[in-house]
Amino acid sequence: MCLGIPGQITAITDPTRMMAMAEVSGVRREVNIAPIVTGALEDVIGKWALIHVGFAMAEIDEDEAEKTLEALRGLGEAQETLEAMAAGDAALEGRV
Amino acid sequence: MKYADEFRDPIAARAALDAIARVCDQIGATEENPVRIMEICGGHTHAIFRYGLDKLTHPGIEFIHGPGCPVCVLPMSRVDECVQLAEQPNVIFTTFGDAMRVPGTRKSLLQAKADGADIRMVYSPLDALELARRNPDKEVIFFGLGFETTTPSTALSIQQASREGLTNFTVFCNHITVPPPIKALLDDPYMKLDGFVGPGHVSMVIGTHPYDFIADDYGKPIVVAGFEPLDLLQSVLMVLEQIRDGKAVVQNQYARVVPEHGNPVSIAAIDDVYEQRPSFEWRGLGEIDHSGLRIRETYKAFDAEEKFGIGYATGTRSVQEPEGCECGAVMTGRMKPTQCPMFGKGCTPEMPLGALMVSSEGACAAYYQYGGARAVEAAE
């Protein structure tokens, strides 16, 4: 649970709350981008970040994103994170 | 047996393994008299077993598995308090999935859920915040668990809840910090450690300076490492080279992700919301001074301990670990998982007795998963 997963920021969804849409291994998830914003919010669109429990914690380059994702897949952590995201969605809808 | 061929870059991996072997020979490290290197992070423990790095490296290296798995160091008393919070009427208790199966004195969160408590597994404290918005007539409690990697997420969520004026969202704070238990282990006269592989994603938040005391005060090398197997091999090599050259400094092998001074936004959020507790209980290690965080007075309205009168707010603490469970001895490197009498018998990943068997980052679960039947046979 201590490892971040790489994701690409695709759009700003709620500027007040610093929320953005990220694509994580083919799954779309809204994340908080406060830790990686240093200038205009829009500047992070298209950037890759390590996402940990819904927060973009560090900006990384695409090559690093690819390498990290491969390492996480090897450990089964990528799948675990995607399952946790699905569980989070289900919890919001009261399906669990 | 694992082979370096499985690695993303087998040539680089073989070169690192050869270099590690050369330095081990230079410093006279042998199986009988090994260099003892602690990997602090549970993610690294998992990677070491997954890729068989303990088997591939020179026999003169012994990996000691550190206390860096937040689920594993969670004392039973805190699980009991989670269950107590979750079983209150009108409460939605939210948690990361990892914590669901950790045994408490009476039951785990999973059992409490089966018994009817409204416990929901979430991915993020943001999910808990959203539940609070959608359920204004319910109390939504988030089980805040984890090291410095996770702490900013609850700090930023509490700040957000405060800005929105939410009155039904609280955090049961169990955040802990990496440096104090490392100091406690270094102060332990029975613990012999020659160097450390430092956590990558924790350091992405706090930077590398919080480890300076390891090098400056205790004269031990530490290298902050990434999570690829090659990152780990290179970091082990860097630790060994420091030992060979008589150096003790903090090095950053993972500079592509870890800035020297960490992440300023995250550090500011942590400092704003949290303060050090005088001490915090760790499974197997006992109470450690200044090792846990609590919510500051300013954000008291978001502190589940204050709101529900539980935990450190009550003064009644400490419960016994289950009989026969040796998690404490394993955690401090005094015992290998397979030496625990319960390993693979009274304690398996399906029916864990101790926390080290619960999380994939726990040493016992890693031994069990990747050692398989051999590990259980070895225990007999």
> HEC profile for B356-376?
HHCCCCCHHHHHHHHHHHHHH
Domain containing B370 equals: 327-379
Domain CATH number, residue A53: 2.30.30.140
Q: Do B204 and A67 touch (CB under 8 A)?
A: no
The rounded mean pLDDT for chain B is: 91
Cα dihedral A80, A86, A91, A93, rounded to 10, equals 180
- B252 part of contact set with chain A, CB < 8 Å: no
Domain CATH number, residue B224: 3.40.50.11740
Cα dihedral B305, B308, B311, B315, rounded to 10, equals 110
Let me know whether B176 and B217 are in one domain. Answer: yes
Cβ-based contacts of A64 with chain B (< 8 Å): 256-257
- Contact between residue B205 and residue B175 where contact means Cβ atoms under 8 Å apart: no
Cβ-based contacts of A92 with chain B (< 8 Å): 127, 130-131, 134
For the segment B104-113, what is each residue's pLDDT rounded down to a tens digit? 889 999 999 9
pTM of this structure: 0.92
- Name the residue of chain A whose CA is nearest to B153's CA: A55
Per-residue pLDDT for B299 more than 50?
Answer: yes
pLDDT tier, A4 (very low <50, low <70, confident <90, very high otherwise): confident
What's the whole-number mean pLDDT along residues A33-51? 96
Q: What confidence score (pLDDT) does residue B1 get?
A: 43
Let me know whether B238 and B122 are in one domain. Answer: yes
For the segment B194-216, what is each residue's pLDDT rounded down to a tens digit? 999 999 999 999 999 999 999 99
Q: Do B124 and A55 touch (CB under 8 A)?
A: yes
Handedness of CA A89, A92, A93, A94 (dihedral sign): positive
Q: What confidence score (pLDDT) does residue A95 get?
A: 63
Structural domain count of chain B: 2
Q: What confidence score (pLDDT) does residue A96 get?
A: 60
Let me know whether B220 and B352 are in one domain. Answer: no
Q: What confidence score (pLDDT) does residue B350 get?
A: 84
pLDDT tier, B380 (very low <50, low <70, confident <90, very high otherwise): low
DSSP state of A94: T
Let me know whether B305 and B358 are in one domain. Answer: no
For the segment B249-297, what is each residue's pLDDT rounded down to a tens digit? 999 999 999 999 999 999 999 999 999 999 999 888 888 999 999 999 9
- Contact between residue A68 and residue A50 where contact means Cβ atoms under 8 Å apart: yes
Of the two residues B193 and B321, the one the predictor is more confident about is B193
Q: Do A50 and B41 touch (CB under 8 A)?
A: no
Q: Do B123 and A55 touch (CB under 8 A)?
A: no
- B125 part of contact set with chain A, CB < 8 Å: yes
Structural domain count of chain A: 1
Q: What confidence score (pLDDT) does residue B203 get?
A: 97
The rounded mean pLDDT for chain A is: 91
Which residue among B320, B346, B364 closes a domain? B320
- Name the residue of chain A whose CA is nearest to B148's CA: A2
Q: Do B201 and A4 touch (CB under 8 A)?
A: yes
Which residue among B320, B335, B359 closes a domain? B320
Handedness of CA B101, B105, B109, B115 (dihedral sign): positive
Q: Which amino acid is at B18?
A: D
- Residues of A with a Cβ under 8 Å from any B Cβ are 1-4, 17, 29-30, 32, 34-37, 50, 52-55, 57-58, 60-61, 64, 67-68, 70-72, 74-77, 80-81, 83-85, 87-88, 91-92, 96
d(CA B54, CA B232): 11
Q: Do B122 and A87 touch (CB under 8 A)?
A: yes
Let me know whether B283 and B361 are in one domain. Answer: no
Question: Is residue B351 in a domain?
Answer: yes
Let me know whether B238 and B349 are in one domain. Answer: no
Percent of chain B with pLDDT over 90: 70
d(CA B120, CA A95): 9
- Name the residue of chain B whose CA is nearest to A52's CA: B150
Domain containing A35 equals: 5-92
Beta bridge partners of B251: B223
Q: What confidence score (pLDDT) does residue A59 get?
A: 96
Cβ-based contacts of A72 with chain B (< 8 Å): 227
pLDDT tier, B317 (very low <50, low <70, confident <90, very high otherwise): low
Beta bridge partners of B170: B141
Cβ-based contacts of B97 with chain A (< 8 Å): 83-84, 87
Task: Give how far A42 is from chain B: nearest CA, Å.
Answer: 18
- Contact between residue B259 and residue B207 where contact means Cβ atoms under 8 Å apart: yes
d(CA B336, CA B349): 17
What's the whole-number mean pLDDT along residues B319-345? 84
